[in-house]
């Protein structure tokens, strides 16, 4: 929680300062539109990273017992072998 508070409290003032300067130059409505477009682009980029993130984090979650380890269904193989 402390790291979250430090990151949030430490970066928001800089973003507000930058947005204020941009709003002074191009106007508040255009600044809000530009920030919204930036958020959408950031979200789309994050969505493209999710499969790789899942592949990298799944072994760690399995080791910690957060998610179940996927095992093949042995009953199907046993039935075929008979």
Q: What is the pLDDT of residues 38-72, one digit of tens each?
A: 999 999 999 999 999 989 998 898 888 888 776 66
3-class secondary-structure state, position 69: coil
For the cut 60, the answer to whether the pLDDT of residue 12 exceeds it is: yes
pLDDT of res. 2: 82
pLDDT of res. 74: 58
Contact at 8 Å (CB) between 22 and 28?
A: no
Q: Is the pTM of this model over 0.85?
A: no
User: What spatial distance separates the first Cα and last Cα of the chain, rounded to whole Å?
Assistant: 56
């Amino acid at each position: 929680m402390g790291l979250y508070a430090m990151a949030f409290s430490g970066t928001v003032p800089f973003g507000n300062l930058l947005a204020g300067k941009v709003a002074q130059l191009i106007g508040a409505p255009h600044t809000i539109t530009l920030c919204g477009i930036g958020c959408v682009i950031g979200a789309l980029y994050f969505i493209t990273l999710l499969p790789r993130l899942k592949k990298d984090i799944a072994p760690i979650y399995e080791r910690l017992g957060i998610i179940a380890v996927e095992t093949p269904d042995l009953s199907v193989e046993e039935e075929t072998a008979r």
